Structure 1
Amino acid sequence: MTKFLLDSGDPREYKEIIKLAKEHNSEIWGATTNPTLIAKNLAGKKFTREEAFNLQKKIVIEILNLVPGAVSAEVYADETTTAQEMIEQGEEIASWDKRIYVKLPTTIESFKARTALRKKNISINNTLVFSQQQIFAIALHERIIRKTHNNIRSEWPQFISPFIGRLDDNGRNGIRLIGHGMKIKALPAGRQGKSTWMLSASIRTIEHIGQSINAGAEIITSPAKVYRQWFTLTPGQKNALKKTSPAKGLKDITFWQPPKKLEKITTIEEFMQVIQTNRLDIHHPLTDSGIERFAADWKSILI
């Protein structure tokens, strides 16, 4: 059954939506936060970088006390952030609680960080995902890590977060990426004890929730304003939304079949070589713009 996460940096919203979900025989299992949501919650105030990081910690811990499942907290990253900087932030964030997933943008530099963090059994939510190549890369990387490090254990699978609403905004059928991604991560290259969950993110509408469930997403994260509508629907209304079509005018995304030679990669060294040489092209302009936006929002609260 699909698990629901709230996409918010405001503990007050969690209390409201948790109560609403419970009243309608459902549950908010976990949470996602990001620099934009944290900055929104702290709007109008200015902090040093250390103060802002400590406030993020305070907010995340408060949210952890409200939900039973995983809570994702994002590293600060812009176009100049190194893997080592992400590793140091990720280790600190992960130390707050065993249920925390460290959010990393899906870039070459972040895969270096992902390698180091996963070796330390730190759970990862790869975010700002916009392509099938990125989904394949995350699933493949996780398979390699698990096969080469037998000590890797986690209560739940690792998260892959396609931003379907952001794709819709750009005229592409975002929900199609969820469906294609589910097929890709089930391929031999990605299959390793169901080691990844598809997290449908950037939800804009109740239709997005229904369509994500229908596409097979294991988890969905949505803002409070959409859940206020979703949880008050009848079971029949929810089932009807699962069968709705994407908004008109969206360009379809055709399925990308990963080359067999990429599926045969078995070492991190080989993996890094193919993404660094673009034989597996994980670059996407929306990932770049998403990083820029998160960085700008975080900087907006800094002195």
Structure 2
Amino acid sequence: MKFFIDTADLDEIREANDMGVLDGVTTNPSLMKKAGGSDFHAHIRKICEIVDGDVSAEVTATDFEGIMREARTLAKIHDNVVVKVPLILDGIKAIRALAAEGIRTNCTLCFSPTQALIAAKAGATYISPFIGRLDDISTPGMELIEQIVQIYANYGFETEVLAASIRHPMHVVEAALAGADVATMPFGVIKQLIKHPLTDIGLERFLADWKQYEQQAAAAGDGVGS
């Protein structure tokens, strides 16, 4: 499974990338607003310079011509840019046209298997089902991941399933078990993946025992490592 970070914060992206496990970045207009700045294209370029992997940058147009115009501009920023397109009628038309031009796309705001099927038939590079938002309305979001993975396997679609709107580590585990190709998550969730209370307890015990060992060695007149 590939790990993407869902943020436009350059410091978070650098820190996550330094861990050595980051495969890409997803952004959206809300994340750009949170990160601040005034030059969207320059900001995406900076992200691409940090991470050696796919970087999703979203269009804001909702009509076919506008989506195509913005997508072509975004794709020129860097080879790693994947154009994020909303799952609407003109978005699907644009995904098909962009695929014909060799421009990769991330079809976003997917909430049903039929939407995912249409996106794959249009030639989307990624499909982004929003599992957390489904959970928010008492609908099991992970079932959608399972359905999409099965449908794509049935027909050999090459579109990658990108589990989005991930809220906690169990979402990552469940998405991995369901066969999602990618999980995109906030930096806080990435850090949570490392944490376990038994790891902390075990390390604390080992270090305490080592300190006692050093004291015993010193009392016996032996230097540690001598």
User: TM-score interval w.r.t. the shorter chain?
Assistant: 0.7 to 0.9
| Misfit runs of 4+, over 2 Å | 231-234
Amino acid at match of 2:188: K
Determine the structure 2 residue equivalent to 1:64.
48
Determine the structure 1 residue equivalent to 2:194.
231
Between 1:97-106 and 1:225-234, the stretch displaced more is: 225-234
Q: Does 1:164 align with 2:163?
A: no
Amino acid at match of 1:181: I
Task: Give the superposition deviation at 1:233.
Answer: 4.8
Preserved contact between residue 163 and residue 175 of structure 2 (Cα < 8 Å): yes
Amino acid at match of 2:167: R
SS in 1 for 2:138: coil
Determine the structure 2 residue equivalent to 1:13.
12
The number of residue pairs the alignment matches comes to 198
Task: Give the superposition deviation at 1:222.
Answer: 0.1
Q: Could you say which structure has the higher helix fraction? A: 2
Matches within 5 A, 1:178-257: 178-188=145-155, 191-192=156-157, 195-233=158-196
Q: Does 1:32 align with 2:26?
A: yes
Amino acid at match of 1:71: V
SS in 2 for 1:28: coil
Task: Give the superposition deviation at 1:76.
Answer: 0.7
Task: Give the superposition deviation at 1:18.
Answer: 2.1
Preserved contact between residue 10 and residue 59 of structure 1 (Cα < 8 Å): no
Closer/same/farther in 2, CA of residues 233 and 57 from structure 1, 3 Å limit: farther
Larger RCO: 1 or 2 (CA < 8 Å, sep 6+)? 1
Preserved contact between residue 93 and residue 122 of structure 2 (Cα < 8 Å): no
Closer/same/farther in 2, CA of residues 95 and 211 from structure 1, 3 Å limit: same
Unaligned runs of 5+ in 1: 46-51, 143-156, 237-303
SS in 2 for 1:187: helix
SS in 1 for 2:149: helix
Deviations 1:139-162 (A, max 9, x none): 2222xxxxxxxxxxxxxx810100
Instruction: Quote the Cα distance in structure 2 between the aligned partners of 1:185 and 1:97.
Output: 29
Instruction: Quote the Cα distance in structure 2 between the aligned partners of 1:212 and 1:122.
Output: 27
Determine the structure 1 residue equivalent to 2:218.
none
Amino acid at match of 1:90: A
Task: Give the superposition deviation at 1:34.
Answer: 0.4
Instruction: Quote the Cα distance in structure 2 between the aligned partners of 1:69 and 1:159.
Output: 14
Task: Give the superposition deviation at 1:185.
Answer: 1.1
Instruction: Quote the Cα distance in structure 2 between the aligned partners of 1:115 and 1:140.
Output: 8
SS in 1 for 2:52: coil
Instruction: Quote the Cα distance in structure 1 between the aligned partners of 2:99 and 2:50.
Output: 26
Q: Which entry has the higher C-alpha Rg, 1 or 2? A: 2
Q: Does 1:177 align with 2:144?
A: yes
Instruction: Quote the Cα distance in structure 1 between the aligned partners of 2:193 and 2:106.
Output: 24
What is the Cα-based RMSD across aligned positions, in Å?
Answer: 1.7
SS in 2 for 1:65: helix
SS in 1 for 2:139: coil
Deviations 1:269-289 (A, max 9, x none): xxxxxxxxxxxxxxxxxxxxx
Instruction: Quote the Cα distance in structure 1 between the aligned partners of 2:83 and 2:2.
Output: 19
Closer/same/farther in 2, CA of residues 233 and 68 from structure 1, 3 Å limit: farther
Matches within 5 A, 1:69-88: 69-77=53-61, 81-88=62-69
Task: Give the superposition deviation at 1:232.
Answer: 3.7
TM-score (norm. length: structure 1): 0.63
Matched-pair identity in %? 34
